[in-house]
Amino acid sequence: IEELNKIDNLRQTLLLTPLSLQDKLLFRWNAYVDRIFYSLNLSGVEVTRNQIIELLSPLGKSRLTSRQKTIVGFKKALDYLVQEWLVSSKTVNDSTIIKLDQLLTGIKNRIENTDLPNSLRYIQASPDHAVIQAGLAQILIQSENFFGDDSAQVASLTSTLFLYKYGYDFRRFIAIEEYFYMQKDRYNRLINQSIRDVNVTPW
């Protein structure tokens, strides 16, 4: 509860701090690049910030490699979350998560584990704090391996979806994936422990 209160206070500070339009755009762009960079590298897709920036610039390349398609797909999925889920009363269902995977990979209706609806019902069954729901979404989507090798990336996007849905990171300045990346050994250990013990409490 103490940590969640700290998060709520930080959220309030971020929302109320006056900033120029130039600063807002700069912070938002940097957070976009960081989100893509850290999320992809955490999932084993090695990219550099310069590759991301070059690819997402107005003069980005037209013929893309597989890795470049992943970068663009991640950006498309983030844009979709901003447009459809930033402060929303809608319930998250399996078709939403499948759409995130489709935007990310370009593959339609791909799912390797049919328990996705049950996991989403579990996440939303009780009025837990938004950060708790986002954390559950991250670990369940990743540990249940719903989307094969892309499950970690879809998990990161699903976690972001829940934060956006409840108005967290409303200004889109934060890339929480950076923390996971800086604590990568612990991050991987907790995920593996959760999968092994079928228990998400340590996570």
Q: Which pLDDT belongs to residue 20? A: 94
Q: For residues 120 and 8, what is the distance between their CA atoms, to the nearest angstrom? A: 24
Residue 136: partners with Cβ closer than 8 Å, 6 or more residues away:
122, 123, 128, 200
C-alpha dist (Å) from residue 180 to 110, 116, 133: 27, 24, 17
pLDDT beneath 50, residues of the chain: none
- Confirm if 42 and 180 have CB atoms less than 8 A apart: yes
Q: Which pLDDT belongs to residue 38? A: 95
Half-sphere exposure of 124 (CA within 13 A, CB side): 19
pLDDT digits (tens, 9 = 90+) for 111-120: 776 789 999 9
pLDDT digits (tens, 9 = 90+) for 50-64: 999 988 876 656 678
* Single pTM value for the model: 0.88
Q: For residues 128 and 105, what is the distance between their CA atoms, to the nearest angstrom? A: 31
Chain-centroid distance of CA 139 in Å reads: 11
Comparing CA positions, the residue from 173, 160, 177, 5 lying closest to residue 86 is 160
Q: For residues 101 and 80, what is the distance between their CA atoms, to the nearest angstrom? A: 12
DSSP per-residue letters across 41-76: HHTT----HHHHHHHHSTT--SS--HHHHHHHHHHH
Q: Which pLDDT belongs to residue 101? A: 94
Q: Which pLDDT belongs to residue 126? A: 78
Q: Which pLDDT belongs to residue 111? A: 77
Residue 153: partners with Cβ closer than 8 Å, 6 or more residues away:
39, 40, 43, 45, 70, 74, 104
Amino acid at 165: K
Q: Which pLDDT belongs to residue 199? A: 84
